[in-house]
A and B are shown apart, each in its own frame.
Chain A
Amino acid sequence: MAARSTFPAGLVLDAHKQQACGTPIIELPLPTHVVLALDQGTGYSAEPVVAVGDAVATGTLVARADHPYASAVHAPLAGIVVAIETREAAAQGGRSVCIVIEGDGSDRIDASLRPVTDPASLSPEELVQRMRDAGIAGLGGAGFPTSSKLASARDLGAQTLILNGAECEPWICCDDALMRSAADDVVLGALILRRAAGAVRCVIAIEDDKPAAIAAVTGAIERLRDDALTLVVVPAVYPQGAERQLITAVAGVEVPSGGLPADAGVVCQNVATAAAVARWATRGEPMLSRVVTVTGSGVWHPGNVRAPIGTPLAALIAASGGYRGTPLRLIAGGSMTGRALPSDEVGLTKAMNCVLVATRDDIGSRLGAVELPCIRCGDCASACPAGLLPQQLLRAALADAHDTLRQLGVRDCIDCGLCDYVCPSQIPLADRFRDARRRLNETEAMVKKAADARERHDLHKHRLQEAATAEQQAFASVRDRARRRDDDSAGDTN
């Protein structure tokens, strides 16, 4: 079943891409309100800098990123901040503090926005800092701030920038649509990112099932004539677009376990992130919108939409013709790694590349499936692109055997879901491993906290001991002096 592949294992899946890919990108009109989650998908939140009742213009900073894994959030429309509260969101844990902005229909633009007239005149450090201020985050699905990734790549001396246009997950085709319509932006963004990362080469990798995107990007590269910018075509095997697998396929090196791509001399960015960097550089626009695939049998007109960050998903689905039939699940992401969402009131995040409105036809075969015991067929091990042994991991995960989990590399699991997909016993393996990783992290945090507490307790005892000794000595010296005085006065009377 597995076709020629440039990373071990993997699987060719039904792509389901034709549904959404036929039509050009729709520009969504400004919604009436936006719900901006302060956790844009990484688990770390930005800090609000506006208050309820404040008027904001398009592009006004509403939350600043203090943590390196959070990204700054800007108002995508002009209006009034009507609420700052915890809501259901497409964030880690399903909830996040959100800033809700009611649009006033005007087109006021924040006065501080200005294009970067000449990216080549800025030092790489300045470029990274200004991308951070502009809230540029990875649009490939993780939402990790681009600035943090570029800074660590430069520190570790990465020489090659790989632009990820593989987009291997079923249903999703927003990157494909973007490359077809804005290949020049992708290429311009690639040059800026290459400079900011301190890399000497840039490789754009696209899967071979996207001939139109390959042609468009090839044309854009030819117009530019830059020898250090090349295109490689990689086979369409899931998970080709996973960072580590793509690096193995393109650069022929493996990212070490527990390491970063930069340890292998590579930094990866998504093609959509590159296009967003180009928009920021040419128009001065911070990250205000993204292209998202709205698809599945549960909407009338699947397609790709450019929508402001924070757009309620209900508005996106309405723009795609509305609900059709009886949708079972609303999923952020594709059918393999996507997460079910609690409602269509949540706002679009930077990390959300696809809204899959799935009916029983799309995902029904696994719904309500009864989990059967593992029969040790080994299909999961032959599918695993990370080279792990899922059936061994499962035993260790069920037994909470943390040492074994670590040895078997549970942290090298990339959460691609292929083991679930091939399992004839319908065991939700990837879920189990995700949960095992969380418990492993919690246990390690507790062990570390206990070690810290022991050290602090030892110091505490030492400090009390010293204080007691000092007090005793002070008392003894006072007593001695008093005795001497008594002796002296006794001598006088004699």
Chain B
Amino acid sequence: MNASAVVIAVLVAAALAVTLGVALGWAAARIEPDADSLVERIDALLPQTQCGQCQYPGCRPYAAAIASGAAEIDRCPPGGEVTVRALAALLDRAPRALDPAFGAPKPAQVAWVDEAKCIGCARCLPACPVDAIVGAPRQMHTVITLQCTGCELCLPPCPVDCIELRPAPAVSRRYRQPRAA
């Protein structure tokens, strides 16, 4: 082996290192990491009740907070343990119990308007995050059961407390097998 071969090899390696270093440095500065797609993927796992129990104004803001590391994955009671496990798997973190500070999981529920008490004030209409309440000022209001997410956000604005939450209708009436413990 002669000296020139060694020199050439060292020069080639050095040139490669410099080129790749510059390219990577440029890419890191210019190409943004794709935060949106991570937020989208987290958002897709959330139950979309838009209830705000996580203290964020909707599921997508909470997804953004998880993606940026501002919030933990244990703040979503409507999604329950299933959602926490799915989030943990997506983000490669250890699953954890729900944080009771943000509420406890409940069975699926839907809002129901007591039409005898409703005065038609229309205050619940903008509160509903999915526009599932039909009504107009001084007209009867009612809830579209199939679209209600059971978020309870229509309860505080109602001046006569005529909205209550009832168990959601079963998706399927078919035979249910008791699960082994």
Residues on A facing B (Cβ under 8 Å): 43, 92-94, 431-432, 434-435, 438, 441-442, 445-446, 449-454, 456-457, 459-461, 463-464
Q: Is the CB of B176 within 8 A of A459?
A: no
CB closest residue in chain B, given A339: B175
Count of inter-chain pairs, beta carbons less than 8 A: 65
Q: Is the CB of A456 within 8 A of B126?
A: no
Q: What are 20 A-B pairs with beta-carbon distances under 8 A? A: A92-B173, A92-B174, A93-B174, A434-B177, A435-B175, A435-B176, A438-B172, A445-B171, A446-B47, A446-B171, A449-B149, A453-B50, A453-B149, A456-B132, A456-B147, A460-B128, A460-B129, A460-B130, A463-B131, A464-B126
Smallest CB–CB gap between A368 and chain B, Å? 17
Q: Which residues of the partner chain A approach B130 to less than 8 Å between Cβ atoms?
A: 453, 456-457, 460
Complex contact A438–B50 (CB within 8 A):
no
Contacting pair B175 A438 (CB below 8 A): yes
- Decide if the interface of chain B is mainly helix, strand, loop or mixed: loop
**B49 surroundings in chain A (CB, below 8 A):** 453
Q: In whole angstroms, how far apart are the Cα atoms of A174 and B36 in the complex? A: 63
Known contacts A452-B147, A456-B132; A438 and B174 CB within 8 A of each other: yes
Given A92-B175, A457-B58, 5 further pairs, Cβ under 8 A: A438-B174, A450-B48, A453-B130, A454-B60, A457-B59
By beta carbon, the residue of chain A nearest B45 is A450
User: Within the complex, what minimum Cβ distance (angstroms) separates B10 from chain A?
Assistant: 51
Q: From residue A466, how far is it (CB to closest CB) to chain B in Å?
A: 13
Evaluate contact between A460 and B131: CB separation under 8 angstroms: yes
Contact of B48 with A457 in the complex, beta carbons under 8 Å: yes
B131, A456: Cβ atoms closer than 8 Å = yes
- Name the residue of chain A whose CB is nearest to the CB of B174: A438
Task: Determine if B152 is an interface residue (Cβ-Cβ < 8 Å).
Answer: no
Chain B residues within an 8 Å CB radius of A94: 175
Asked whether, in the complex, the Cβ of A431 is within 8 Å of the Cβ of B177, the reply is: yes
* Bound CA span A452–B146, Å: 10
Chain A interface, >50% SS class: helix
Given contacts A435-B177, A464-B126, contact A442 B43 (CB under 8 A): no
Q: A43-B174, A435-B176 are in contact. Are A459 and B131 (CB under 8 A)?
A: yes
Query: Which partner residue on chain B sits nearest A93 by CB separation?
Result: B173
Closest chain B residue to A95, Cβ basis: B173
B48 & A451 in contact (Cβ 8 Å cutoff): yes
Which residue on B lies nearest to A398, using beta carbons? B180
Provide the residues of chain A in CB contact with B172, threshold 8 Å. Answer: 438, 441-442
A434 to B175, CA, bound (A): 8
B147 and A93 form a contact (CB under 8 A): no
Expressed in whole angstroms, the Cα–Cα distance for A442 and B174 within the complex equals 11
* A456 CA to B59 CA, complexed, in Å: 13
In the complex, what residues of B have CB within 8 A of residue A432's CB? 177
Q: Is the CB of A457 within 8 A of B177?
A: no
Q: B43–A454 contact, CB under 8 A?
A: yes
Partner of B48, one of A92, A438, A442, A454: A454
- From A93, A438, A454, A459, contact of B59 by CB (8 A): A454
Residues of B with C-beta under 8 A to A446: 47, 171
- For B47, B48, B132, which residue has the most chain A Cβ atoms within 10 angstroms? B48
Cα–Cα, bound, A27→B40 (Å): 65
Q: Once the chains are docked, how many angstroms separate the CA of A417 from the CA of B65?
A: 49
